Amino acid sequence: MGQLQDVIATFNDQRGVGTQVTGFDAAVLRGGSKNRMLRSTIVGVILLDSAPDWERFRAKEERLTRLVPILRMRPLYGAANVLQPRLALDPDFDINLHLRRMRLPEGGTWDDVLHEARRMSLVDFDHDRPLWETVLIEGLPGERAAIIFKLHHALADGKATVEMGAHLLELSPEPTDEEMPDPPEADDANVVAITRANLTDTAGRLLGAATGTAKLAGSLALGSVREPRETWSDAANVVGSVFRATKIPGSEMSPLMTERGATYTFSTFDLPFPDMKTAAKTRGFTVNDVFLASCSTGLANYHERFGSSAEELRFVIPVSIKGAVKDGSTANEVALARFPLPVSEVSIEERLQSAHDEVKKWREEPALALTNQLMDVSWLVPVPVMVLSAKGTDVTTSNVPGPPFPIYLSGARVVGTWPLVATGGGAANITMVTYDNTAFVGVTTDDRAIVDPDAFVADLRAGFEEVVGVPAATTDPTEDDASHAGRVRSEG
């Protein structure tokens, strides 16, 4: 099997056809290209205390694309577009097509930044070029500036995105001497070469699956003789785990957030991270438990506002399988865990305990080790079925750790960083990134599911206040007197 993989790699390298997209990456690339509700876009908004040095920033971005070659890769499709696409280096890559700068008119605000972030997120990528772009926005109050990064989820997950950003950031405003690597060599590839490489790779994976199945059958046969009860108990556990991981939910669980559309609204707020850690430690839970409990408390508040209640809501969270970035690779190494959490008419302790137990249980699911194989099979699932499954999600949440100390971007200090992730068919996405003793929360709300995003964010913020125990004011992060904690803004 190892020799076959070497042959495949050599075959592909000679023809410049790159690597076939598989697993989670293939699923999100296909879903988003077939149905706009399933577009999977990651947007990061960074607020800076001043405008960065543009040429220095441009050089940083150029260097990043050489260190992380996937940022120079475009999707390639074979004949009839029936197999997974490939990601290959774009021979015409031009950094200037992915970078731009703009200046807000007099009186520009944070709402204008969120409006641009929303527009960028809702507009699809040019799939003939690498799937990312960056814009610098100048002219914010106090001569502050903002950077908006847009990246397709097929290129990287949240953790990998943060790690890629580390190549752009510095520990001081002073420039550092960095070697500029040579750009990776790229060749054109025709449809015949792409199709042949896809067939070769797919055949290799099918052969690998057949070999694995044969080994599994042999192990079951041997185990049936030596330890039959344990062997078949373990097998049944794996089968049950796969069923739980792939089961399509019947419908959303919320009686209020039932509609779904193809547009959404971005909102942001933040709160002191040390208080979150204290709230977790004093109760004997983790920060992630506090985060999930805060989200469920906020959702209970929102339902109550409209005279409704939700006994449980279906949460989706990414569970890390292993390190996301190795040797320049940013492949998604996450599995999506889907489970209900209690929302209305329960105590904070019950919310914390349920979040802790469910996440722990999913981390121990045997199906996690089979994530990429299961996602490969999803290539054969009709897109309408994928849409139906996505609509069954009430809320997607994610918690990504960032640097705990101040950092700089081409001479400007990073004031805050907010993750804004597409809803992907769910009613809302709530993602938190921690940086410099602050928890920055980005909220994305489906415009049909949540008709009053300001009320949703206010109730969500109140949920965090109730669980964490600190107030969150509604001040603009671009104001000169704005503190780190407690900012909220939305743009629809």
Residue percentage of the chain with pLDDT more than 90: 50
Residue 136: CA count within 13 A, CB half-sphere:
22
The reply to whether 163 and 270 lie within a common domain is: no
Quote the pLDDT of residue 427: 95
The reply to whether 76 and 173 lie within a common domain is: yes
Q: Of 191, 223, 248, which marks where a domain is finished? A: 191
Domains of the chain: total: 2
The reply to whether 483 and 373 lie within a common domain is: yes
Confidence of residue 241 (pLDDT cuts 50, 70, 90): low
Give me the sheet containing 312-320, strands edge to edge.
334-342, 312-320, 395-401, 428-435, 438-446, 264-272, 489-491
pTM for the full predicted model: 0.85
CATH number at residue 85: 3.30.559.10
Between residues 251 and 418, the one the model is more confident about: 418
Q: What average pLDDT does the chain have?
A: 82
User: In the predicted model, is pLDDT for residue 454 greater than 80?
Assistant: yes
Quote the pLDDT of residue 482: 46
Quote the pLDDT of residue 15: 47
Quote the pLDDT of residue 80: 64
User: Average pLDDT for residues 428-449, to the nearest whole number?
Assistant: 95
Residue 237 belongs to some domain of the structure = no
What's the distance, CA 281 to chain centroid? 27
- What's phi and psi for 471, nearest 5 deg? -75, 155
Residue 377 belongs to some domain of the structure = yes
The reply to whether 60 and 151 lie within a common domain is: yes
Residue 408 belongs to some domain of the structure = no
Determine how many CB atoms are found less than 10 A away from the CB of residue 330: 23
The reply to whether 7 and 138 lie within a common domain is: yes
Confidence of residue 5 (pLDDT cuts 50, 70, 90): very low
Q: Of 149, 166, 191, which marks where a domain is finished? A: 191
The reply to whether 170 and 275 lie within a common domain is: no
pLDDT-wise least confident of 279-288, 349-358, 430-439, 479-488: 479-488
Amino acid at 329: S
User: In the predicted model, is pLDDT for residue 273 greater than 90?
Assistant: yes
Determine how many CB atoms are found less than 10 A away from the CB of residue 452: 14
CA distances from 369 to 1, 206, 293, 321 (A): 20, 18, 27, 8
Confidence of residue 247 (pLDDT cuts 50, 70, 90): low
User: Average pLDDT for residues 272-276, to the nearest whole number?
Assistant: 95
Quote the pLDDT of residue 280: 97
Determine how many CB atoms are found less than 10 A away from the CB of residue 12: 23
Residue 418 belongs to some domain of the structure = no
Confidence of residue 214 (pLDDT cuts 50, 70, 90): low
Residue 84 belongs to some domain of the structure = yes
Quote the pLDDT of residue 443: 96
Structural domain including 276 reads 264-397+438-491
The reply to whether 182 and 272 lie within a common domain is: no
User: In the predicted model, is pLDDT for residue 60 greater than 60?
Assistant: yes
Residue 113 belongs to some domain of the structure = yes
Confidence of residue 457 (pLDDT cuts 50, 70, 90): very high
User: In the predicted model, is pLDDT for residue 327 greater than 50?
Assistant: no
User: Average pLDDT for residues 231-247, to the nearest whole number?
Assistant: 59
Residue 129 belongs to some domain of the structure = yes
Q: Give residue-wise pLDDT tens across range 81-122.
A: 667 788 889 999 999 999 999 999 998 999 999 999 999 999
Tokens read off for 238:
């794996």
Q: Give residue-wise pLDDT tens across range 13-49.
A: 444 778 888 777 877 787 777 788 888 888 999 999 9
Q: How far apart are alpha carbons 168 and 60 in whole angstroms?
A: 6
CA distances from 315 to 191, 388, 448 (A): 41, 16, 19
The reply to whether 168 and 299 lie within a common domain is: no
Between residues 419 and 194, the one the model is more confident about: 419
User: Average pLDDT for residues 52-60, to the nearest whole number?
Assistant: 95
CATH number at residue 317: 3.30.559
Three-state secondary structure readout of the chain: CHHHHHHHHHHHHHHCCCEECCHHHHHHHHHHHHCHHHCCEEEEEEEECCCCCHHHHHHHHHHHHHHCHHHHEEEECCHHHCCCCEEEECCCCCHHHCEEEEECCCCCCHHHHHHHHHHHHHCCCCCCCCCEEEEEEEEEHHHEEEEEEEEECCCCCHHHHHHHHCCCCECCCCCCCCCCCCCCCCCCCCHHHHHHHHHHHHHHHHHHHHHHHHHHHHHHHHHHHHCHHHHHHHHHHHHHHHHHHHCCCCCCCCCCCCCCCCCEEEEEEEEEHHHHHHHHHHHCCCHHHHHHHHHHHHHHHHHHHCCCCCCEEEEEEEEECCCCCECCECCCCEEEEEEEEECCCCCHHHHHHHHHHHHHHHHCCHHHHHHHHHHHHHHHCCHHHHHHHHHCCCEEEEEEECCCCCCEECCEEEEEEEEEECCCCCCEEEEEEEECCEEEEEEEEECCCCCCHHHHHHHHHHHHHHHHCCCCCCECCCCCCCCCCCECEEEC
Q: Of 191, 220, 244, which marks where a domain is finished? A: 191
Q: Give residue-wise pLDDT tens across range 310-324.
A: 999 999 988 776 543
Nearest partner of 445 among 123, 136, 121, judged by Cα? 121
Confidence of residue 167 (pLDDT cuts 50, 70, 90): confident
The reply to whether 273 and 143 lie within a common domain is: no
Quote the pLDDT of residue 363: 81
User: Average pLDDT for residues 64-91, to the nearest whole number?
Assistant: 85
Q: How far apart are alpha carbons 61 and 56 in whole angstroms?
A: 9
Q: How far apart are alpha carbons 46 and 52 in whole angstroms?
A: 12
pLDDT-wise least confident of 14-18, 78-82, 168-172, 295-299: 14-18
User: Average pLDDT for residues 243-268, to the nearest whole number?
Assistant: 83
Nearest partner of 479 among 415, 396, 417, judged by Cα? 415
The reply to whether 447 and 328 lie within a common domain is: yes
Residue 253 belongs to some domain of the structure = no
The reply to whether 469 and 324 lie within a common domain is: yes
User: Average pLDDT for residues 207-226, to the nearest whole number?
Assistant: 60
The reply to whether 444 and 346 lie within a common domain is: yes
Q: How far apart are alpha carbons 342 and 300 in whole angstroms?
A: 9
